[in-house]
Amino acid sequence: MNSTFGIRHIVQFILFVALQILLFDNLVLFSTGFCFIYIAFLLFLPININRLVLLLLGFIVGFTVDVFYDTMGIHAAASVLLAFLRPHILNLLTPRDGYEASDAANLHIMGWNWFLTYAFILIVVHHAAVFFLEIISFEWYTLVKILLSTLFTGVVVVILQLLFFSAKRAKR
């Protein structure tokens, strides 16, 4: 697994960040629904990844997006928060007999219930952090934004899982 970790995840990093900057930057639903697909990179990392590495990766991916979005620090802060919470959420969602060595944050392996709970909790936290850091005050409109954006990102994450993370390949 170690040998494949590097290349596969580096490719995923580049792909998701490129998708975010080149495509999803322009796709906004009704001026309220944003899609921050780059966090899929953090969601799809192996379950037993080192927490420190995860935090650093969260910072790096958030910072890269920040540089392109001119929102210095906002996405980095939200991604670091996501990276910090991810192991805790994984602990909460542990199956009855613990995680197996072959388990991955994958819809086909873990099932719909597990994956949707896992993804949506983390996406909500991340989006809430982004939108509140952006305005630093409370508005009801922001809640609508968070809700719609979470749905948007969530649906795209699920579609990505269905399209590119087939059950066969995951079992390998």
Partner 1 sequence: MRNLFAFIYRFRAFLVFVLLEAFCIYLIVQYNTYQGAAFFNSANRYVGRVLEFQSGVTDYFNLATVNSTLASENALLRQEVMKYRQTSMADSTRKMDTTLVVLPDTTIVDSLRTGPQSFTLHAGRVINNSVRRTNNYLTLSIGTKDGVEPGMGVIASNGVVGRVKTVSDNYSTVTSLLHSQMLISAKIKKNNTMGTVKWLGGDYRTAILDYIPLHVKLAKGDTVVTSGFNTVFPEGVMVGTISSVAKEADKSFYTIKVKLAVDFAQLSFVYVVENMQKAERDTLEHNAGILPNE
Query: Do residues 54 and 42 touch, judged by C-beta distance below 8 A?
Result: yes
Q: Is 132 in the site for partner 1 (CB under 8 A)?
A: no
Q: For the chain, how many helices (H) and strands (E)?
A: 8, 0
Among 12, 84, 109, 147, binds partner 1 (CB under 8 A): 84
Among 93, 133, 156, 158, binds partner 1 (CB under 8 A): 133
Q: For the chain, what percentages of helix, strand and coil (3-state, to nearest 5) are there?
A: 70, 0, 25
* Cα–Cα dist 122/15, whole Å: 20
Among 10, 11, 72, 155, binds partner 1 (CB under 8 A): 72
Among 73, 94, 100, 143, binds partner 1 (CB under 8 A): 73
* Cα–Cα dist 71/84, whole Å: 21
* Cα–Cα dist 35/148, whole Å: 9
How many binding residues for partner 1 (CB under 8 A)? 36
Please give the residues from 90 up to 119 whose contact with partner 1 meets the rule CB under 8 A.
none
Q: Is 143 in the site for partner 1 (CB under 8 A)?
A: no
Two structure tokens written together for 73: 């620090």
Stretch that binds partner 1, among 71-79, 89-97, 99-107, 161-169 (CB under 8 A): 71-79
Termini Cα distance of the chain:
10
By CB under 8 A, name the binding residues for partner 1: 21-22, 25-26, 28, 31, 34, 51-52, 55-56, 58-59, 62-63, 66-74, 76-77, 80-81, 83-84, 87, 131, 133-135, 141
